[in-house]
Structure 1
Amino acid sequence: MALLGAQLVITLIMVSVIQKLGNYSFARWLLCSQGLYRYLYPTNSELKTLAGVPKDTSKSKKGSKNESNGKPETFHIPRSLDIQLETAPVTALDVVHLRFYTEYVWIVDFSLYTLIVYIMSEIYTSIFPLKDEFNLSMVWCLLVVLFSFKILLSLTKQYFTSEESIGERSTCIVSFCIFFLVAMMVLIVDESNLEVGVDPAYDSFYENASKFLENQGLSSVGPASKLILKFFFAVWAAIIGTLFTFPGLRVARMHWDSLKYYGENKVKSLLLNFNFAMPFVLVLLWIRPITRHYLTVRVFSGMEKPLMTSSAYDSLRLALVGATVLVRVALMPRQLQAYLDMAQRRLSLQKKEAGRITNIELQKKIASVFYYLCVVALQYICPIVMCLYLTLMYKTLGGYTWTGLFYETQEMCTADDRPVDVTSSIEGDGIEQFQMAWENLKMVFTVDVYKGVFGFATWWCSFAWFLTTSLGLAYQSYFRIS
């Protein structure tokens, strides 16, 4: 109980810090203090001057009257008009009115505060290991995952509420079906090939749940069958894949544009490619014959033992997830600038077209790029935030360690691993019976169960993120969109 009280103190301190730092925002700093600049659309007066449209005083007065009635002045200009867009730095006053700005600031800042809480909790529990207490930092991590899921769901919902998003709706439906099929195929792969831990998790859950139900005097043959549970896993995986589809396509487009911008800088191009390929490396780390076998089992010629121990390999996977997220956050401003440059690229493409366009359509085409900046930022940050905090929960609840890379640690028997006679009769009544039932219920959710649930969730998020971005990059390279 003392450790639980210490965790509550850490939580209260962090809540107080959040209140004190309310005026400071890491999310706002990423947008407004990293040199981002936006493109300003030309005014009606500038367009008339470039297009040679006469400025009639009476019409301008009538136009201003129409603008006051909600009908802005409209005129046509050639699409091939040579327009030079002016730029302006992105400031806090500019972004505060953007769509989904509040959600963006909330998820980024809350994720940062949760990471601080998690680090403090890890340091404290490494000195004073938990026995029967619950790690409160897991509640913070779970909230970040749920908030990220909710935001991605809200973004995807826009495609089903807008009348102009017929193609996007069809893409979401097709993505759900494809990811559902892929997830069903993944879930039947043997653990000797793909070590997500679903089968050991079910075996442990089934055994302990059956004993728990029997101990409570309930007549049951046990929990749901493995097929039913895998079906729900597949449905969840298909939903995650659908939510990651358009963020993955967007990130692929930004990566493609960033590569063209840094084409002559080999170091930055290498860093961008490393950033893009890291999810694929993470996916391979869960495929046992490709990675774990060669690093922890096979003894190469001239060596007396494998390259690393099993615990070191597990720590390596966790560390690489953190490194991937860190690199992606560091490159986020450059990727967002690649998105903002889309306004200039749209204008360049328009110059190659014939015909005419209204001034309102041209101004909307340029202004909409900056208008959706926070939406794009959420599409970039939410998937990697979800991957990171699922990994942190996988590490803590799965009983892994960060120090496996430096020295071999002896596995300790945790509260979930200690042998408990769940079949013993419950003596006493009232509170004693409730406490015994609660202890038996906790024994149902063992470390193996957590390893299976969060292991599959972590691997699948990395897999879906890599698959969607790879498809987006293949689309860009095939159609050569400039």
Structure 2
Amino acid sequence: MFLTVTRLYFSAEEGGERSVCLTFAFLFLLLAMLVQVVPEETLELGLEPGLASMIQNLEPLLKMQGWDWMVPLVKLAIRVGLSVLGSMLGAFLTFPGLRLAQTHRDALTMSEDRPVLQFLLHTSFLSPLFILWLWTKPIARNFLHQAPFGDTPFFLLSDSAFDSLRLWVLVALCLLRLAVTRPHLQAYLCLAKARVEQLRREAGRIEACEIQRRVVRVYCYLTVVSLQYLTPLILTLNCTLLLKTLGGYSWGLGQALPLAPVLAAAQDGPVGPKEDEAQQAAARITGALGGLLTPLFLRGTLAFLIWWTAACQLLSSLFGLYFHQHLAGS
């Protein structure tokens, strides 16, 4: 869906959408490389333990083939791949963030007499900031694990309970953003009225077909706006569910179950006499992937995707607020 929507910007001959996407892609590429060098004591994404777990299982396979010199290259390739993926996600989330900022401002204007809805809109808009806070170890895990109440340490949550609580908070924030979908889309549809009023203030004779064209253009673009709003939400929710399942977490706040042992390679087990070569090859590939894609590696990768998606949404939406507040009318 991201690729389909972004393709519209690159196919347009007029306007600066293509330049904006490329500029933000380069900016997010630099930021993605900087994020990966932040130590785990500050940003606990789990990339370092995940890479160490995967390399530990990959190194014997490479040594069997005499390719042990490729171990540093594999680590570098994974780092570069995550940076490129982060750059692409940043480019894809640029215009959804700009659109979210516009609909957020208009939705707040339309709900001036509804303070509860305004509170929900503000909370939904700041939900990416809460997600960033969940993986910042000094102000999230350390604070809840050992709260600073005087000289006596007071433990609020265990490590496993905090991991489960983080999953529940992610799901709750996704549901909150889903709950305020209607005010955002209604705020976008009200752009048709604003454009007609702006057209009427212009000097000269205005044809009815011009007014109709501007109104229809807003309604025809509603599907794209809906995708821009819902796709980051769906991506975050899917990554959260994958993180729970593949990362070995639990929904309960009690003691977490130990991680499942890594699948052994297929060549270590007996092979049935009736299995053909294709089945044996498939079994070897399955065993190798099970040994490489360890729960620790999947935890780090999915946590990075969730955190990075929230960071891209926050940066692009804040830039959108500044743009619509100070630059759009100039």
For normalisation by structure 1, the TM-score amounts to 0.62
Q: 1:363, 1:386 → 2: CA distance?
A: 36
Report the counterpart of residue 296 of structure 2 in structure 1: 448
2:56 to 184, 202, 207: 207
Any residues of structure 2 matched to 1:422-441 within 5 Å, and which?
A: 435=283, 438-441=286-289
Change (3 A) 1:194 1:474: same
1:242 to 67, 71, 91: 91
Q: 2:271, 2:224 → 1: CA distance?
A: 57
Report the counterpart of residue 218 of structure 1 in structure 2: 65
Q: 2:328, 2:25 → 1: CA distance?
A: 27
Q: State whether structure 2 residue 92 is matched by structure 1 residue 252.
A: no
Report the counterpart of residue 324 of structure 2 in structure 1: 476
Change (3 A) 1:437 1:390: closer
Q: 2:147, 2:202 → 1: CA distance?
A: 61
Q: 2:269, 2:216 → 1: CA distance?
A: 69
1:371 to 206, 220, 236: 220
Q: State whether structure 2 residue 198 is matched by structure 1 residue 349.
A: yes
Q: Percent identity?
A: 33
1:264 to 104, 113, 117: 113
Equivalent residue letter for 1:320: V
Change (3 A) 1:440 1:233: closer
Any residues of structure 2 matched to 1:286-325 within 5 Å, and which?
A: 286-301=135-150, 304-325=153-174
Change (3 A) 1:459 1:362: same
Q: 1:161, 1:461 → 2: CA distance?
A: 25
Report the counterpart of residue 125 of structure 2 in structure 1: 276
Any residues of structure 2 matched to 1:21-420 within 5 Å, and which?
A: 151-164=1-14, 166-214=15-63, 217-221=64-68, 222-223=70-71, 224-301=73-150, 304-404=153-253, 408-416=254-262
Equivalent residue letter for 2:311: F
Change (3 A) 1:307 1:154: same
1:284 Cα deviation after fit:
1.2
1:355 Cα deviation after fit:
3.5
1:410 Cα deviation after fit:
4.3
1:415 Cα deviation after fit:
3.4
Equivalent residue letter for 1:153: L
Equivalent residue letter for 2:297: V
SS in 1 for 2:2: helix
Kept in 1, the 8 Å contact 2:250–2:257? The answer is no
Q: 2:161, 2:269 → 1: CA distance?
A: 42
Kept in 2, the 8 Å contact 1:394–1:458? The answer is no
1:292 Cα deviation after fit:
1.4
Q: 2:280, 2:110 → 1: CA distance?
A: 67
SS in 2 for 1:283: helix
Change (3 A) 1:268 1:480: farther
Q: 1:389, 1:168 → 2: CA distance?
A: 28
Kept in 2, the 8 Å contact 1:426–1:436? The answer is no
Equivalent residue letter for 2:31: V
Report the counterpart of residue 60 of structure 1 in structure 2: none
1:281 Cα deviation after fit:
0.6
Kept in 2, the 8 Å contact 1:205–1:445? The answer is yes
C-alpha RMSD of the superposition: 2.6
Report the counterpart of residue 59 of structure 1 in structure 2: none
Larger radius of gyration: 1
1:395 Cα deviation after fit:
1.2
Equivalent residue letter for 1:240: L
Equivalent residue letter for 2:166: R
SS in 2 for 1:289: helix
Q: 2:245, 2:61 → 1: CA distance?
A: 25
Kept in 2, the 8 Å contact 1:255–1:272? The answer is yes
For normalisation by structure 2, the TM-score amounts to 0.89
Kept in 2, the 8 Å contact 1:283–1:462? The answer is yes
Mean Cα displacement is larger for which, 260-269 or 356-365? Answer: 356-365
- Report how many aligned residue pairs link the two structures: 323
Equivalent residue letter for 1:412: P
CA offset digits 1:335-380 (Å, max 9, x no partner):
1111111111112223333344443322211111111111111111
Change (3 A) 1:440 1:239: closer
Structure 2 unaligned regions, length at least 5: none
Kept in 1, the 8 Å contact 2:248–2:259? The answer is no
SS in 1 for 2:137: coil
